[in-house]
């Protein structure tokens, strides 16, 4: 009779929820663990069985929509018991593992810091002049680069090498050069190249603006057994299909596109652009802001002044000089000296 009245009553959901909540709360109070987790004795199994049968009988009779408000506090209690177990057993073990990992990491960092400090102290007390014998040289110095030149172009190349992660040991300059170039000791006289090579230095970069002199000194370095390195700015854009020689300087903002071939000892100066399929000869100098269209050929030792332009499929022979701002619209013979728009001989 009571069930019929409840089903007919407007407050049937509230009445049933209150009754079922009282049933759940009383069961949880009697044996919370047995209600939420698998039981091990017969009494708890009986409680679980009776409680479960009564609960699911109500669900089957009135539908899940009446029971949903009641199941929420059950889930909340289960979450609370789970968190208590996690806090009491799992978290301490996890914190112990994390603590051990932190200690191991700190030991490794301390060892690295000690090694770095030792290297810094060793670098601070290195001599600023070459060693007298190969045995007296510090082995850590052998990976450093020797740069030829101590002028303005050499300063730019020193910064390029440093940006690449290289260290510059000495600068070999002329007799009348300064004593330092961007904190790099300057050794006066080309004869120092042979001495430094005998002491174990193997990397060389020639930072000379003159094309012919740069080629001669680079050839001298190769004959002494040096390996010529490139000085390439990290801010240059170079196609993966481009082919680069050795001893090349590529400044910031330069763009070298697909299938470009650049010869040994060339200088691609700040902001110069070389389009697809161009061929740049040995010891060529493209001044800042030069722009070469596609399929241009530039011969050995040629110089293109600042801001000069070359239209597509032009051939510039050896030892050609193009004045600043010149626009080359026709092929140029060897040794030509041109300027203007369009570029013409003087």
- Which one of the listed residues 22, 153, 276, 285 is annotated catalytic? 276
Residue 285 is a catalytic residue: no
DSSP track, 182-247: TTEEEEESTTHHHHHHHTT--EEEE--SSHHHHHHHHHHHHHTTPEEPPEE-TT-EE-TT-EE-SS
- d(CA 226, CA 265) in angstroms, rounded, equals 14
Nearest to 271 by CA among 298, 302, 304, 294: 304
**How, if at all, do strands 309-310 and 231-232 pair?**
unpaired
Q: Which two tokens stand for residue 292?
A: 């070469």
Q: Measured on CA atoms in the order 187, 193, 198, 202, is the torsion positive or negative?
A: positive
The helix/strand/coil state of 328 is strand
Q: Is 165 left (phi over 0), alpha (psi -120 to 50) or beta?
A: left
Per-residue CA distances from 265 to 174, 202, 280 (Å): 20, 17, 11
What is the CA angle 315-324-326, rounded to 5? 45
DSSP bridge pairs for 111: none
Q: Residue 176 contacts by C-beta under 8 Å, 6 or more apart in sequence?
A: 188
Q: Which two tokens stand for residue 174?
A: 């002329």
Per-residue CA distances from 285 to 95, 184, 245 (Å): 63, 25, 14
For the chain, the first-to-last Cα distance in angstroms comes to 121
Nearest to 280 by CA among 302, 258, 297, 257: 297
Nearest to 215 by CA among 246, 237, 244, 173: 246
Catalytic amino acids? Answer: 276
């Amino acid at each position: 009779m009571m069930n019929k009245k409840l089903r007919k009553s407007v407050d049937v959901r509230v009445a049933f929820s209150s009754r079922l909540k009282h049933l759940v709360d009383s069961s949880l109070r009697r044996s919370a663990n047995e209600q939420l987790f698998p039981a091990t004795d017969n009494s708890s199994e009986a409680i679980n069985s009776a409680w479960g049968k009564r609960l699911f009988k109500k669900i089957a009779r009135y539908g899940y929509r009446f029971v949903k408000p009641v199941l929420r506090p059950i889930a909340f209690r289960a979450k609370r018991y789970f968190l208590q177990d996690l806090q009491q057993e799992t978290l301490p073990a996890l914190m112990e593992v994390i603590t051990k990992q932190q200690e191991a990491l700190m030991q490794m960092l301390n060892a690295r810091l000690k090694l770095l400090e030792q290297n810094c102290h060793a670098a601070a007390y290195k001599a600023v002049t070459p060693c007298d014998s190969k045995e007296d040289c510090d082995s850590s110095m052998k990976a450093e680069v020797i740069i030829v030149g101590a002028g303005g172009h050499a300063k730019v190349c020193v910064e390029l090498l440093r940006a690449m992660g290289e260290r510059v040991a000495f600068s070999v300059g002329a007799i009348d050069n300064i004593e330092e170039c961007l904190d790099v000791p300057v050794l006066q006289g080309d004869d120092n190249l042979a001495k430094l090579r005998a002491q174990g230095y193997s990397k060389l970069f020639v930072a000379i603006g003159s094309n012919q002199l740069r080629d001669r000194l680079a050839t001298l370095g190769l004959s002494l057994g040096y390996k010529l390195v490139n000085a390439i700015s990290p801010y240059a854009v170079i196609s993966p299909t481009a082919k680069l020689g050795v001893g090349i300087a590529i400044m910031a903002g330069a763009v070298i596109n697909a299938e470009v071939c650049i010869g040994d000892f060339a200088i691609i100066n700040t902001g110069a652009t070389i389009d697809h399929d161009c061929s740049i000869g040995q010891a060529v100098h493209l001044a800042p802001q030069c722009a070469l269209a596609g399929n241009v050929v530039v011969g050995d030792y040629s110089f293109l002044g600042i801001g000069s332009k070359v239209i597509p499929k032009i051939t510039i022979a050896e030892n050609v000089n193009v004045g600043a701002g010149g626009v080359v619209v026709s092929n140029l013979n060897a040794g030509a000296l041109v300027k203007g728009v369009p570029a013409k001989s003087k």
